[in-house]
Amino acid sequence: MKLNKLSKTALCVAVPTAAVTPLAFTSCKSAEQRSERPNIIFILMDDAGYGDFGCYGQTKTETPNIDALAENGIRFTDMYTAAPVSSPSRACLITGQHMGNSQIRENVEGRVEDGIWNFDTVDAHPEIEGQMGLKPGTPTLGTVMQQAGYATGMVGKWGIGSPVGGSAPWDMGFDFYYGCVCQRVAHNYYPAYMWKNGEKEYINDPATITHPGTKLDKGADPLDPKSYDKYSEGKRYAPDAMYDNVVEFVRTNKDKPFFLMWTTPFPHSPLQAPKEWVEKYVAKYGDEEPLVGENCELNAWPHNYYPCRYPHATYSAMISYFDYQVGELVKELKRLGIYENTVIMFSSDNGPANNASSPTVWMDSAAPYRCGKGWGKRTLHEGGIRMPFIASWPAKIKQGVVSDHIGIFADVMPTVCELAGVETPKTDGVSLVPILSGNPEAQQEHPYLYWEYPAAGGMIAVREGNWKGLIEDVHNGNRTMKLFDLSTPGKDIEFDDKDIAASHPEIVERMWGYIEQSHNLAEYEPFNVDISR
């Protein structure tokens, strides 16, 4: 199967940009040594669960190319995101700060006013597009890699800033950017436009775009696949435009070290995938009840997204299609002769969603942990924060390694800095280079990991070795910590009847000490979680 062809025409609208404050440190490598440094590609999926991939136990959706990265590299079993939703997870990844220190700790829109959920209004007013952003001048993966002399690029979803105001990707260290700056705009795989650096590239006629929440035509047969054509027929698929720009960036920079973040929207809602890939899974799963709106838990946008004839088949198709794109990128790296010295890291921003457009319970997307309401995305249970994480580096990594190192997204910053030979800014992470270079006995371990989440009633979690402490409903005054033993994973691991806090008060007290060491007040008051006892 081939990727859909991109249109050869594009319209551009210029938008003002702001400069990044340069970092104060410089590379510590000579020119000769820098030429031998690896290229680095970080692939981030959106809402994909720990169990959504064959190498992590998935039996329904097929992911041979992502599985091959694991077979040829390292599969981490105990890697965590820093937050159970998109914006704070990405903020940690790009700055190396956990949620006790992060500028961004929850999904918050950059502007809260009428019209921000309307694509036409957002198109006409870029100033209301995007989420709360990082402060201009914040050290990011982009700025440190620029300082190291790397070409830097990002393709896909940003979600931690606006196209204007100094917090867009091109303001935060990325020489090249293509994708959806705003995660609301990413809620349609057939959008009107993508951002290419500081300009809009229109990939579809805005007049043809259907808005999320648009129901089937009156009288349309919900069992007829043709009833759903209006959402995609004749339109350009955003993931294809993104893939072509990934390849463009790699080809342009093949002769020098580059750092690329590919932050695909897959498989975040809505359910939209190329027909031939959906048909593959319809043949595998058989007929199923369509998603048409009336059977959604919530009927209003942004919860309803779009109707879908085959929800299960489409979810699998989205992941498998991205897996195919990953395979095509690996082929291109090999064709260019740069695959051996390219580090590829792969993960997801948070655990699987729970809505009518995310059939993750049926998929068992967080296995061996629970997902669904109260267990996956938007929670600090394992299903919400334990992530698939794969690293491939053919020149260095032995094949088929499985690592039980307990890590977190904050580790990515010191890792890429060490690979690039540049000083690491202050972070909450530790470099994974010893593991990547085949020297795991030299790997620094975290004494503990820390999470706080200000939404969903307020949550705090700590992991120390196989112990996990969890406090929920903090905003309503709860301070009772539950304690779980993670040494034997399973769907019932965090049920109340497995809470052993009463038997280990000394561990609970030690974890409270970790909380007090890790929590710092956020400047944005709604982000704060009260840790007082």
Note the pLDDT of residue 16: 32
Is pLDDT at 23 greater than 60 in this prediction? no
Looking at 72-199, list the stretches that DSSP marks H as alpha helix, in order from N- to C-terminal side. Answer: 86-95, 119-124, 141-147
CATH hierarchy code of domain 447-533: 3.30.1120.10
475 pLDDT more than 90? yes
Per-residue tokens: 527: 């982000």
| Residue 45: per-residue pLDDT | 98
Per CATH, the architecture of 38-444 is what? Answer: 3-Layer(aba) Sandwich (3.40)
* HSE, side-chain direction, 13 A CA sphere, residue 117: 10
List, for residues 217-258, the tens digit of each pLDDT value: 999 999 999 999 999 999 999 999 999 999 999 999 999 999
Confidence of residue 213 (pLDDT cuts 50, 70, 90): confident
What is the mean predicted confidence (pLDDT) over 498-515? Answer: 98
Identify the pLDDT of residue 127.
92
In this model, does residue 445 exceed pLDDT 90? yes
Under the banding of pLDDT at 50, 70 and 90, the label for residue 211 is confident
- Of 266, 217, 249, 346, the closest CA to residue 61 belongs to 266
Position 4 pLDDT exceeds 60: no
pLDDT digits (tens, 9 = 90+) for 151-178: 999 999 999 999 998 999 999 999 999 9
Provide the residue ranges of all domains of the chain, joining segments of one domain with +. Answer: 38-444, 447-533
Evaluate whether 38-444 and 447-533 have a shared fold. Answer: no
Mean pLDDT (the chain, rounded): 92
Residue 50 pLDDT > 60, yes or no? yes
pLDDT at residue 447 above 90?
yes
CA atoms within 13 A on the CB side of 502: 4
Residue-wise pLDDT for 192-204, tens only, equals: 999 999 999 999 9
pLDDT > 90: percent of the chain:
87
The pLDDT assigned to 316 comes to 98
For residues 43 and 326, the answer to whether their CB atoms sit within 8 Å is yes
Could you tell me which residues come within 8 angstroms of residue 31 by beta carbon, excluding any fewer than 6 positions away?
A: none
Query: What's the Cα-to-Cα distance from 172 to each of 36, 38, 134, 137, 142, rounded to whole Å?
Result: 26, 22, 9, 7, 6
Transcribe 445-490 into DSSP letters.
--S-EEEEESSTT-EEEEEETTEEEEE--GGGT--PPEEEETTS--
Q: Residue 261 pLDDT > 50, yes or no? A: yes
First to last CA, the chain: 58
pLDDT surpasses 70 at 435: yes
pLDDT tens figures, 78-137 = 999 999 999 999 999 999 999 999 999 999 999 888 788 888 989 999 999 999 999 999
